[in-house]
């Protein structure tokens, strides 16, 4: 038996076991995952697990289901505990969960998890834009919410807000090589995940249930035209005017908690507020001045992220570094640990620091000269082909070409840079979205390549060719970067409306959660696996390629948008660039991936990967935008 309940202008489909099977968006698209290789009824909305000091249990088949005209009530037997669930539908969809201890002894609950299997998947660009959602999650206690927005940025979106109780964590399941980078996984919401990750998100409170006691939480879902409309329906306990500031500066707060916060020590500060019954939390960052961060990072790179033990020019290459062991990392067959590819970000960081007169210019020039020798001897051929790394000379990866063109340009070799970009297009670059292409082509005066490439992708519409991931933020941002550059070079040939039509594709990847790691930072959920040592899948916040969005927002032609949108673009740019400073330590060490969920596949997370690898692009873009 399947019951269909009206839910505002959409519907909710409930299975005979009382679990929610699907939610239909008002325009007909599906909001939750469909049954298939990734999803099954075991992960249906409303199912989950409990971990206690008296045993751990999953709950699936209810002991009782009572159907009503406007919804249903369920009772699950969870070990010695009872979980009662009420679902009611109408203009809003309200769910109340009550975990009760009917026994005579107290029980400590270390984790409670409820599955919310949002359709956050990338099958293709068109299927993503027309049939999937980005699920933006905030588990800040009493202020918790989820915003599920269609990937094309259109409304309405589905907003979940907590009305009673607290949510302190979210975790992810079903992430493994089989699902790879095109499926975000099953998202579980937690009143607490203390048993598995007590440190996560500022701390996870355990829940103690005395005899006859219960813990109850309620959330309400509704359709909203946009994210501001959703927030207008909420009353958070705490907020902030900004989420990042330099050491010693003050961040102004609003709500029931303190009026301001400051710090003389770099790092993330969690700030709480309470109304006497419920508590909420936000996370802000205090950081050193950008120049100091960059100079300390460069010192660390020069001292520890090269290979002086080698006899040839490979000793000047920049490589990953394990902060735990103190050793550089040998890549072998794992290309994302190689001495090329994204690691060139370290060389570009050295150039940015040198060009601003920061650091020791003599030392920087020597390091860059050595790296240039390595590039010319091992990576860039005479015809402009860029090899994948110094070992693998039979693979061509188009992403690499603009990065090495940018490096040679920074070394004063315009001819070499142009040769690399010509070769990029000879190898099919017209159908690929590498990074930094628009600005590079503009700077080198390569007008024909730029306009032709832009026109090609305008013709593609929403059917973008798949890249290393079927669809992702780092396809849309380079697309818009390319279109912006072409529009600026030839506004009579590139229609500004084509830019504006695609801008929501990019903005939809992020929301405005009150955590410095999340605000306006695009969802990326695979890079910890590919680039880190822990090989953890799951949301990486912030991932450094979120700076690609900032680069687009900063360059966006302001004549194409309203003043309010221009102000939002400025604020989002600053939020993204400063958020990424969180991944650099005071001593110059760094992490390539902070895996944000409390757990991934049961593995405790909310952790910085010990590998310093490819994150220096965040500093490169921050210096370009913010460096004086």
In the prediction, which pLDDT does 628 show? Answer: 62
Q: Is residue 177 very low, low, confident or very high in pLDDT (cuts 50, 70, 90)?
A: confident
In the prediction, which pLDDT does 615 show? Answer: 98
In the prediction, which pLDDT does 421 show? Answer: 98
Q: What is the mean pLDDT of residues 187-191?
A: 98
Task: Read off the pTM.
Answer: 0.97
Higher pLDDT, 241 or 64: 64
How does DSSP classify residue 465? Answer: P
In sequence order, which residues have a C-beta less than 8 Å from that of residue 622 and are 6 or more positions away?
Answer: 290, 547, 577, 578, 580, 581
Output the six-digit token pair for 482: 């390319």
Domain boundaries, the chain: 3-236, 244-287, 509-628
Q: Indicate if the pLDDT at residue 353 is higher than 90.
A: yes
Output the six-digit token pair for 197: 């990750």
Considering the domain 3-236 in this protein, what is its CATH number?
A: 2.70.98.40
Output the six-digit token pair for 425: 């297009």
Query: Do 168 and 192 contact (CB within 8 A), yes or no?
Result: yes
For 354-403, the pLDDT digits (tens) are: 999 999 999 999 999 999 999 999 999 999 999 999 998 888 999 999 99
Output the six-digit token pair for 129: 């834009």
Rg of the chain on CA atoms, in Å: 25
Contacts 24+ apart (CB under 8 A), 418-427: 418/444, 418/446, 419/383, 419/384, 420/380, 420/384, 420/386, 421/384, 421/446, 421/449, 422/384, 422/449, 423/383, 423/384, 423/385, 423/386, 424/384, 424/398, 425/449, 425/453, 427/385, 427/396, 427/398
Output the six-digit token pair for 430: 């017209």
Q: What is the mean pLDDT of residues 40-55?
A: 97
Q: β-pairing, 107-116 with 238-240?
A: unpaired
Report the candidate in 514, 463, 528 with the shortest Cα–Cα distance to residue 125.
463
Report the candidate in 529, 488, 524, 530 with the shortest Cα–Cα distance to residue 509.
524
Cross-strand bridge partners of residue 113: 49
CA atoms within 13 A on the CB side of 505: 26
Backbone angles phi, psi at 11, to 5 degrees: -140, 160
Q: What is the mean pLDDT of residues 180-209?
A: 97
Q: Indicate if the pLDDT at residue 214 is higher than 80.
A: yes
Report the candidate in 591, 596, 579, 587 with the shortest Cα–Cα distance to residue 616.
591
Q: Which residue is associated with the tokens 């588990």?
A: 139
In the prediction, which pLDDT does 176 show? Answer: 87
The three-state DSSP-derived secondary structure of 102-115 is CCCCCEEEEEEEEE
In the prediction, which pLDDT does 257 show? Answer: 85
Q: Is residue 608 very low, low, confident or very high in pLDDT (cuts 50, 70, 90)?
A: very high
Q: Indicate if the pLDDT at residue 178 is higher than 90.
A: no
Residue 624 to residues 287, 349, 547, 554: CA-CA distances in angstroms? 18, 10, 11, 11
For 489-521, the pLDDT digits (tens) are: 999 999 999 999 999 999 999 999 999 999 999
Q: How far apart are the first and last CA of the chain?
A: 65
In the prediction, which pLDDT does 392 show? Answer: 84
In the prediction, which pLDDT does 434 show? Answer: 98
Q: What is the mean pLDDT of residues 299-328?
A: 98
Total count of residues recorded for the chain: 628
d(CA 321, CA 297): 13
Report the candidate in 276, 273, 243 with the shortest Cα–Cα distance to residue 256.
273
d(CA 559, CA 565): 11
In sequence order, which residues have a C-beta less than 8 Å from that of residue 120 and are 6 or more positions away?
Answer: 132, 133, 134, 135, 183, 184, 187, 523
Q: What is the mean pLDDT of residues 539-555?
A: 98
For 86-136, the pLDDT digits (tens) are: 999 999 999 999 999 999 999 999 999 999 999 999 999 999 999 999 999
Cross-strand bridge partners of residue 45: 20
For 474-483, the pLDDT digits (tens) are: 999 999 999 9
pLDDT averaged over every residue in the chain: 97
Residues 154, 155, 161: CA angle, nearest 5 degrees: 125
Q: Indicate if the pLDDT at residue 142 is higher than 90.
A: yes
Q: Indicate if the pLDDT at residue 232 is higher than 90.
A: yes
For 561-597, the pLDDT digits (tens) are: 999 999 999 999 999 999 999 999 999 999 999 999 9
For 260-304, the pLDDT digits (tens) are: 999 999 999 999 999 999 999 999 999 999 999 999 999 999 999
Residue 226 to residues 40, 71, 147, 221, 235: CA-CA distances in angstroms? 30, 27, 9, 14, 17
In the prediction, which pLDDT does 272 show? Answer: 97
In the prediction, which pLDDT does 393 show? Answer: 81
């Amino acid at each position: 038996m399947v019951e269909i309940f009206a839910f505002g202008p959409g519907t909710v489909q409930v299975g005979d076991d009382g679990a929610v099977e699907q939610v239909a968006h008002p325009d007909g698209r599906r909001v939750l995952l469909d049954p298939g290789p990734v999803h099954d009824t075991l992960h249906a909305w409303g199912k989950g697990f409990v971990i206690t000091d008296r045993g751990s249990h999953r709950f699936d088949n209810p002991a009782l289901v009572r159907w009503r005209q406007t919804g249903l009530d369920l009772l699950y037997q969870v070990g010695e505990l009872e979980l009662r669930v009420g679902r009611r539908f109408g203009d809003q969809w309200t769910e109340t969960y009550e975990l009760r201890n009917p026994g005579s002894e107290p029980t400590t609950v270390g984790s409670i998890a409820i599955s919310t299997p949002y359709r956050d998947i990338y099958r293709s660009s068109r299927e993503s834009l027309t049939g999937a959602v980005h699920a933006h999650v905030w588990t800040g206690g009493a202020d918790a919410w989820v915003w599920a927005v269609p990937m094309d940025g259109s409304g309405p979106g589905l907003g979940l807000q907590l009305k009673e109780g607290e949510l302190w964590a979210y975790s992810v399941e079903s992430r493994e090589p089989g699902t790879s980078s095109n499926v975000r996984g099953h998202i579980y919401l937690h009143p607490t995940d203390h048993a598995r990750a007590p440190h996560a998100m500022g701390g996870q409170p355990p829940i103690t249930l005395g005899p006859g006691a219960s813990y109850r939480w309620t959330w309400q879902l509704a359709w909203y035209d946009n994210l501001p409309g959703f927030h207008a329906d909420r009353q958070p306990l705490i907020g902030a005017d900004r989420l990042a500031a330099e050491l010693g500066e003050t961040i102004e707060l609003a709500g029931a908690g303190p009026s301001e916060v400051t710090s003389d020590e770099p790092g993330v500060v969690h700030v709480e507020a309470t109304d006497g019954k419920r508590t909420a939390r936000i996370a802000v960052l205090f950081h050193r001045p950008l120049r100091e961060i960059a100079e300390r990072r460069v010192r660390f790179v020069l001292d520890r992220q090269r290979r002086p033990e080698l006899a040839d020019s490979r000793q000047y290459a920049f490589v990953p570094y394990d902060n735990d062991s103190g050793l550089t990392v040998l890549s072998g067959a794992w290309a994302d640990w190689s001495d090329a590819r994204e690691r060139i970000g370290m060389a570009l960081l050295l150039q940015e620091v040198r060009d601003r007169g920061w650091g020791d210019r003599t030392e920087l020039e020597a390091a860059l000269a050595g790296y240039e020798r390595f590039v010319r001897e091992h990576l860039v051929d005479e015809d402009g082909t860029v090899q994948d790394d110094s070992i693998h000379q039979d693979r061509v990866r188009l992403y690499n070409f603009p990065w090495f063109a940018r490096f040679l340009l920074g070394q004063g070799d315009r001819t070499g840079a142009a040769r690399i970009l010509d070769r990029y297009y000879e190898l099919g670059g017209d159908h690929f979205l590498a990074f930094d292409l628009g600005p590079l082509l503009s700077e080198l005066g390569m007008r024909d390549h730029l306009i032709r490439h832009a026109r090609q992708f305008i013709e593609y519409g929403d059917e973008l060719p798949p890249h290393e991931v079927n669809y992702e933020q780092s396809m849309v941002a380079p697309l818009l970067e390319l279109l912006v550059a072409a529009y600026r070079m030839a506004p009579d040939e590139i229609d500004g409306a084509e830019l504006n039509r695609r801008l929501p594709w990019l903005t939809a990847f992020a929301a405005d959660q009150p955590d410095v790691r999340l605000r306006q930072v695009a969802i990326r959920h695979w890079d910890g696996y590919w680039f880190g040592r822990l090989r953890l899948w799951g949301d990486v916040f912030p991932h450094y390629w979120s700076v690609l969005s900032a680069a687009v927002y900063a360059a966006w032609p302001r004549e194409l948008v309203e003043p309010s949108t221009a102000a939002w673009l400025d604020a989002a740019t600053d939020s993204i660039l400063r958020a990424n400073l969180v991944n650099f330590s005071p001593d110059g060490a760094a992490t390539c991936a902070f895996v944000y969920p409390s757990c991934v596949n049961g593995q405790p997370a909310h952790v910085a990967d010990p590998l310093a690898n490819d994150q220096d692009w965040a500093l490169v873009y921050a210096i370009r935008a913010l460096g004086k």
